[in-house]
Each structure stands twice: as structure tokens, then as C-alpha cells.
């Protein structure tokens, strides 16, 4: 291993690999490596210019066992930036330290190492570059030693019941309801960003941790050290960007269903809300209001005057958001020009098709700046110029018909090498032109995101999840881990998306419990596909805005007087918290803190808080214990040290213990920190 100090970066060369470690923000290091062909120049999620760091680099020697049993000297080096230090031995194995304590070490099991476990004959190396046959990319695998007792959080959204990801194998790929945001927070006081949008996996096993990119030219990860998760999130968002300040007039209720089929339906719902004395901040116009996928315009048969509709809604103080999909039907007026200009995803083999729901479609390639320009110009003319306020960028993973990533290619390269960044590039096609010349940031709704998506005005929701209590339990874990991955604007479909029968009393109980949870989250949004499907279509055509089914009504009053009374009560609670919620959004904007927080985020010194996953903090003030099971009308709640006021009963309790709390259907257990 040959070490050099080049422009305040530690460079190490060995066996065709060049390794570069440099300071990148406070108490943080960026680690990159390439084989032979030079640096790519991609910063990926690290979009923000870090503050100047003056690292201390030392190149020296250390003892090593020679093959004949004697001890000799071999080169080694170290680099220190604030509280974090990395050492590199002669085999290129990196070890990381926080304030002198080892926090992470690359896994190396081959003969000739200087580490106690490394002198083995297994021939397992810490960084494995395996050339992709017929291409210039590599499959890259990077391994780290596992730390006994370590807890791992973040990484985005996975539909599973575990908050602590230790022991999990996570696919690094985007799917409907799965969001890969590859930033992890460790209980040992560090955070690590796998700064690579390639499809792959992360395994946090008990024997070692492994990160894999199936197609890449460069290893790139970023590591930061801090005492508290809040410090780690602050340092992470300093280099990846922070959410803009959320508009105050969107902090209340968003109204949505699958699907409002006509502009008169939308206006009727809005007028009824006004009559009920309930202010909805935004109403959402869902899919198949269009003629064909990829036309990106209203079907005039059912939406004859969108501009007048928007003007009336605006007069009621209601913003309007409209669904846009990235899929383009072959029959669409935009298919031929986009295919001709190379603005759609390419297939490597077989027919040019990437999506087959309600049409024969190819999806757009938002990595191409010309694509982003094209789709914005169409949507500006057909939506934005009518006064539409925002866009629901659905299917934004994209939702492939078959997830054969090796069969798709973008202008940026093989889908295997960068597909995880697709939803972020899709969102930028709208955010960037909408932001031009405006002080207030645009707010768009997406089903997916990647590291750094928080800076592009993305409200991300958890996808098309089933209407079950098990799914509600999973959404809590998903939302908490999304927050720890730097995504503070996160929400769900209240009641889940897929409902067979809205009259089922079990579903109605679920709806109330989900609604109560949503009141204490970033965005309160009614949405869902509500059966039974006994409403006839408006049209006999097999295209256009009238032929596809619609779900049952999904307004607050749609589920009977008793449920309406409960939802109205919690709507009033949400509105009364407006100033508090505004302050939480400001905190997200200023230091990256999520709105819904794990217990250990606020109480890192309390060991029990690191094990709790069925309660959370809504900001620093409110402890929320959602009801996550059918026919559950009381539950246990752990209160950390201090005094806590039950907001339902007014009773004050000394913390540091677990208490049993009553939870009739009218109440969600919430405690205010005194």
C-alpha cells in the first residue's frame, strides 16, 4: 500500500485500486475508491458544499507478522477530522474511531493482516470488485465487522415490523411501498451514508455487515460521528440538504380518495366541507382524470373548465394537487415524439415496454434533462397554468411491470447502476421550475424518494399498503426510520389503501386508530381505495376519465355519525396544534429533525428508549402511544424520567416507569412532557 497526502486528502494505492479519504463536513469523512479508470465526478446525495475542514493526516509504519514468523514494519496511515479518525493498514483495511473508541472496521479475513482476526486463510477481502461481464462497471461488495449489541436504524422504508434493523437483509431497490434511503444511524454514535444509487443490498448480520452495488464504477460512502442521533442527523443534512420551510396553509387536512372522477365531484366535496365548517388545506385529484397515460391533461368530458374549478377552490382557501404518472401509453400524443427524441426508458432486450397497468406503456427517463424539460412544459400548459398548485408524482419508483433492473437503461447508465435515484430525478422535473423566482417552496407528493430527496419539496407517503392493523404497525416503523434517514415530510393513506368493505366495523375501528395516529404526524391526509366496487363507471369507452372504477366516499362524514364525531374532534386537535407543528417544520428545516421521532431521539441516555417501537415522540413535547391492535382499549406506555401530563385525563405522572393507560375508541394515549 502506497500512501500520499494530496490536497488535504489521504490517498492509498494498491493492486489497481485508488482509495481516497477526506474530511467532508463536521466530524465526518467521505471514503471513495475506484479501479483503474478514474473518478466519476458524481456527488450523488452529497449535494451541499461542506464547510472547510483541516484534517490531520499522518503517514507512518506499524508492526506486522512476516511470513517467516518475524516482525517487520509495514506502511500505515490515519486521517482525523474533528471527533472522527480513520486508520488504514498496509492491506487497505479501514478502521473508524469516535473520540478514540473503535466504532466500525472493515471486515478482512485473509493472510498477512495486522489485525487480530485478519490473519486467516479465508481469502475474504474488505472491498471486492467483480467486473460485470461485457461492461465497464463492477459489482462492488464492501464488508464491515459486526458490532455486538449494536442497534441500527434509518435506511428508509421497508414494510416489516422491525424498527431496529440489526439482523435484517435490505434490498437497495425502489418498489411500491418500499423506499431505499441508504443512511443508517447506529446506537454506537455514528451514521453512515452508502452514497451510491445502484441496485443492491445491505445486510446487517451478526457476523458482518455487507453493502453491495450490483453495477457501479466507484465506491462512495460517508461516515459521521456524534454523541446523539440529533447531532448525527444535523451533520448528515448539512451535506445532503434540508427540507424547505413547509407552507403554513398545508399543515391541516388534505382530502383525497380513489378517485374523484369529475370537477363537479371535487367542488361538491369542497362545498360540503365548507358547509360543515371544516377547512381543508388541499384537495387531491387522483389518477385517470386524463385521456391517456402520458397525455398529462384533463379529459374535457369530465373536467370542462379546470381553471374555473381551481379559482373556486382557491376562493375557499383550498389548494389543488393533481396526479401525474411517469408512464406514457403507446397511444398517447406524447409517445412518438418522446420515443423519437430518446426521452423514454430503454429496454436492453425484447419489446419496449416497462409498465402494463391499464395500457401498453414505457416510462420516462428523468435522468435526461431534456425529458425533465419536456414533461414540465406539457404539465405547465395543461395543469400549472390553470392554477394547479402541486403535483402528485405517483408510481415514482418507477412502478415497473417486472422488476428486471438489468433490462432497463437510462441516459445516465444501466438501471442497475442508478435506478434508486429515479424518484428524486422525477421530482426535480417539477420542483426546480416551480421554485424559480418564488420564496415559498413547492410541495409535491411522491410515493418514493432517495437520500437527499428532502431538499426537493417532497412529501413522501408510504404507498399502497393494505387496510390492516398489521400494516398500521409496519407504517409506524417505516415512518420512524424514514425520519432517521433524513426524510421529515412523511405520511400514509389513513386507514390503508386497499379496503374491501367500508361498512366492516373492524375496518372502521382501524380507520379511527389510523386517523388518530395521522393527527400526530407530519401530514394529515385522507386517502384510500374503498370497496365495495358497486359504483358503475361513467363511460363505456376503454380510455379517458370515465371508464375506470371509483371507490366509495372517503370524506370525514362518510363513516357514520359516531366516527365523524371522533374525526372532527381530532381535526380540531390538529388545528389547535398549528403553531406547534409549524415549529416542528421549522426545526426540520433548520437541523434536519423529523416530526415523528423515535423515543431514543429525544431520550438517548435512556437505554429502554432504544428498544421501544410502539410509541414515539411528536416533536420534543408529545409522547404518542398509538393503538395498533383490533379491540385494544388500553395499553402500556413507558414514560421516561420527568413529569408527564395525560392530555386526555389531565393527570400528571412521574416518569421513569411503565404505566397502563385506558384507550377507548374516542382516545389515543398522548402525554405532554412537562
Contacts of 194 (CB under 8 A, 6+ apart): 172, 182, 183, 202, 211, 221
Give the pLDDT of residue 119. Answer: 56
CA atoms within 13 A on the CB side of 261: 16
Mean pLDDT of 7-25: 96
Q: Which pLDDT tens digit goes with each residue over 273-327?
A: 999 999 999 999 999 999 999 999 999 999 999 999 999 999 999 999 999 999 9
Of the pLDDT bands very low, low, confident and very high (cuts 50, 70, 90), residue 644 is very high
- For 74, 104, 221, 384, the CA distances from 62, given in Å and listed in that order, are 6, 20, 26, 64
Report d(CA 197, CA 412) in Å as an integer. 11
Q: Which pLDDT tens digit goes with each residue over 477-496?
A: 999 999 999 999 999 999 99
Q: Where are the beta strands (DSSP E) in 250-308?
A: 253-255, 280-285
Asked if 445 and 487 count as a contact pair (C-beta separation under 8 A), the reply is no
Among residues 299, 394, 493, 667, the one annotated as catalytic is: 394
Asked if 170 and 155 count as a contact pair (C-beta separation under 8 A), the reply is yes
Report d(CA 268, CA 288) in Å as an integer. 19
Mean pLDDT of 631-654: 98
Domains 2-240 and 598-673 fall in the same CATH topology: yes
Q: How many residues does the chain have?
A: 674
pTM of the model: 0.97
Among residues 48, 312, 464, 501, the one annotated as catalytic is: 464
Classify domain 2-240 at the CATH superfamily level: glycosyl hydrolase (family 31) (2.60.40.1760)
Give the pLDDT of residue 111. Answer: 67
* Whether the predicted pLDDT of 42 surpasses 80: yes
Please confirm, yes or no, whether 464 is among the known catalytic residues.
yes
Report d(CA 629, CA 634) in Å as an integer. 10
Residue with cell 394547479: 388
Mean pLDDT of 634-662: 98
Of the pLDDT bands very low, low, confident and very high (cuts 50, 70, 90), residue 53 is confident
* Whether the predicted pLDDT of 120 surpasses 80: no
- For 18, 163, 252, 560, the CA distances from 554, given in Å and listed in that order, are 57, 30, 17, 11
Beta strand 101-105 with 94-98 is antiparallel
Please confirm, yes or no, whether 614 is among the known catalytic residues.
no
3-state helix, strand, coil in the chain (%, to 5): 25, 30, 45
Mean pLDDT of 231-257: 98
Beta bridge partners of 461: 491
| Domain 598-673 coded CATH 2.40.128.120 | no
Which stretch, 47-51, 112-116, 375-379, has highest mean pLDDT? 375-379
Among residues 281, 389, 397, 602, the one annotated as catalytic is: 397
CA-nearest of 236, 231, 222, 225 to 22 is 222
Report d(CA 279, CA 397) in Å as an integer. 32
Give the pLDDT of residue 118. Answer: 56
Contacts of 435 (CB under 8 A, 6+ apart): 441, 442, 457
Mean pLDDT of 174-191: 98
Give the pLDDT of residue 63. Answer: 85
Q: Which pLDDT tens digit goes with each residue over 73-94?
A: 999 999 999 999 999 999 999 9
Domains in the chain: boundaries: 2-240, 598-673
Helical segments of 253-368, H only: 263-276, 306-315, 335-340
Burial environment of residue 168 by CB neighbours within 10 A (0 to 12, 13 to 18, 19 or more): middle
Give the pLDDT of residue 365. Answer: 98
Please confirm, yes or no, whether 397 is among the known catalytic residues.
yes
Report d(CA 194, CA 38) in Å as an integer. 20
Of the pLDDT bands very low, low, confident and very high (cuts 50, 70, 90), residue 122 is confident
Q: Which pLDDT tens digit goes with each residue over 249-274?
A: 999 999 999 999 999 999 999 999 99
Q: Which grid coordinates are listed for 575?
A: 388545528
Least-confidence region, from 51-65, 104-118, 345-359: 104-118
Amino acid at each position: 500500500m502506497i500512501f500520499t497526502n494530496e490536497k488535504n486528502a489521504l490517498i492509498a494505492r494498491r493492486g489497481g485500486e485508488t482509495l481516497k479519504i477526506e474530511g467532508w463536513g463536521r466530524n465526518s469523512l467521505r471514503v471513495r475508491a475506484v479501479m483503474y479508470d478514474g473518478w466519476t465526478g458524481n456527488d450523488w446525495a452529497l449535494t451541499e458544499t461542506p464547510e472547510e475542514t483541516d484534517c490531520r493526516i499522518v503517514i507512518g509504519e506499524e508492526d506486522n507478522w512476516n511470513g517467516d514468523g518475524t516482525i517487520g514494519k509495514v506502511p500505515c496511515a490515519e486521517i482525523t477530522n474533528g471527533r472522527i479518525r480513520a486508520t488504514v493498514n498496509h492491506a487497505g483495511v479501514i478502521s473508524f474511531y469516535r473520540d478514540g473508541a473503535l466504532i466500525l472496521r472493515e471486515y478482512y479475513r485473509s493472510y498477512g493482516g495486522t489485525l487480530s482476526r485478519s490473519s486467516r486463510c479465508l481469502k475474504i477481502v474488505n472491498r471486492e470488485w467483480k467486473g460485470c461481464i461485457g461492461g465497464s462497471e463492477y459489482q462492488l461488495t464492501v464488508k464491515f465487522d459486526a458490532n455486538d449489541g449494536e442497534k441500527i436504524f434509518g435506511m428508509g422504508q421497508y414494510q416489516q415490523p422491525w424498527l431496529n434493523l440489526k439482523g435484517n437483509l435490505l434490498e437497495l431497490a425502489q418498489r411500491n411501498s418500499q423506499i431505499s434511503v441508504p443512511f443508517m444511524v447506529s446506537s454506537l454514535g455514528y451514521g453512515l451514508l452508502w452514497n451510491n444509487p445502484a441496485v443492491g443490498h445491505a445486510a446487517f448480520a451478526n457476523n458482518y455487515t455487507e453493502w453491495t452495488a450490483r453495477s457501479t464504477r466507484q465506491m462512495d460512502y460517508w461516515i459521521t460521528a456524534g454523541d446523539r442521533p440529533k447531532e448525527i442527523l444535523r451533520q448528515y443534512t448539512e451535506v445532503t440538504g434540508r427540507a424547505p420551510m413547509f407552507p403554513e396553509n398545508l399543515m391541516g387536512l388534505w382530502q383525497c380518495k380513489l378517485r374523484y372522477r369529475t370537477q363537479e365531484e371535487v367542488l361538491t366535496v369542497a362545498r360540503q366541507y365548507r358547509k360543515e365548517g371544516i377547512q381543508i388545506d388541499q384537495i387531491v385529484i387522483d389518477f385517470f382524470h386524463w385521456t391517456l397515460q402520458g397525455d398529462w391533461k384533463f379529459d374535457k368530458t369530465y373536467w370542462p373548465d379546470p381553471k374555473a374549478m381551481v379559482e373556486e377552490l382557491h376562493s375557499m382557501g383550498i389548494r389543488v394537487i393533481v396526479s401525474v404518472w411517469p408512464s406514457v401509453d403507446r397511444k398517447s400524443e406524447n409517445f412518438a415524439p418522446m420515443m423519437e427524441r430518446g426521452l423514454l426508458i430503454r429496454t436492453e432486450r425484447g419489446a419496449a415496454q416497462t409498465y402494463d397497468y391499464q395500457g401498453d406503456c414505457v416510462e420516462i427517463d428523468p435522468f435526461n434533462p431534456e425529458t425533465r424539460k419536456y414533461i414540465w412544459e406539457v404539465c405547465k400548459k395543461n395543469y400549472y397554468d390553470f392554477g394547479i398548485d402541486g403535483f402528485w408524482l405517483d408510481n415514482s419508483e418507477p412502478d415497473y411491470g417486472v422488476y428486471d433492473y438489468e433490462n432497463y437503461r437510462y441516459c445516465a447508465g444501466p438501471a442497475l447502476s442508478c435506478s434508486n435515484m429515479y424518484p428524486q430525478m422525477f421530482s426535480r422535473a417539477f420542483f426546480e421550475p416551480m421554485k424559480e423566482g418564488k420564496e415559498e417552496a413547492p410541495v409535491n407528493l411522491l410515493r418514493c424518494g432517495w437520500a437527499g430527496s428532502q431538499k426537493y419539496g417532497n412529501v413522501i407517503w408510504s404507498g399502497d399498503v393494505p387496510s390492516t392493523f398489521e400494516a398500521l404497525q409496519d407504517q409506524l416503523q417505516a415512518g420512524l426510520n424514514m425520519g432517521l434517514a433524513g426524510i421529515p415530510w412523511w405520511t400514509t393513506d389513513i386507514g390503508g389503501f386497499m379496503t374491501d368493505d367500508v361498512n366492516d366495523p373492524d375496518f372502521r375501528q382501524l380507520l379511527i386508530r389510523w386517523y388518530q395516529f395521522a393527527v400526530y404526524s407530519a401530514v394529515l391526509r385522507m386517502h384510500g381505495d374503498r370497496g365495495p366496487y358497486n359504483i358503475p363507471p361513467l363511460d363505456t369507452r376503454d380510455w379517458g376519465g370515465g371508464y375506470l372504477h371509483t371507490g366509495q366516499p372517503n370524506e370525514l362524514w362518510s363513516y357514520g355519525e359516531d366516527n365523524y364525531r371522533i374525526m372532527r374532534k381530532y381535526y380540531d386537535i390538529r388545528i389547535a396544534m398549528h403553531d406547534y407543528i409549524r415549529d416542528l417544520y421549522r426545526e426540520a428545516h433548520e437541523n434536519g429533525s423529523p416530526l415523528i421521532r423515535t423515543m431514543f431521539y429525544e431520550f438517548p441516555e435512556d437505554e429502554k428508549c432504544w428498544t421501544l417501537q410502539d410509541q414515539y415522540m411528536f416533536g420534543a413535547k408529545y409522547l404518542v402511544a398509538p393503538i395498533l391492535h383490533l379491540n385494544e382499549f388500553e395499553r402500556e406506555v413507558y414514560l421516561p424520567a420527568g413529569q408527564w401530563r395525560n392530555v386526555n385525563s389531565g393527570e400528571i405522572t412521574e416518569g421513569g416507569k411503565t404505566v397502563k393507560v385506558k384507550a377507548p375508541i374516542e382516545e389515543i394515549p398522548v402525554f405532554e412532557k412537562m
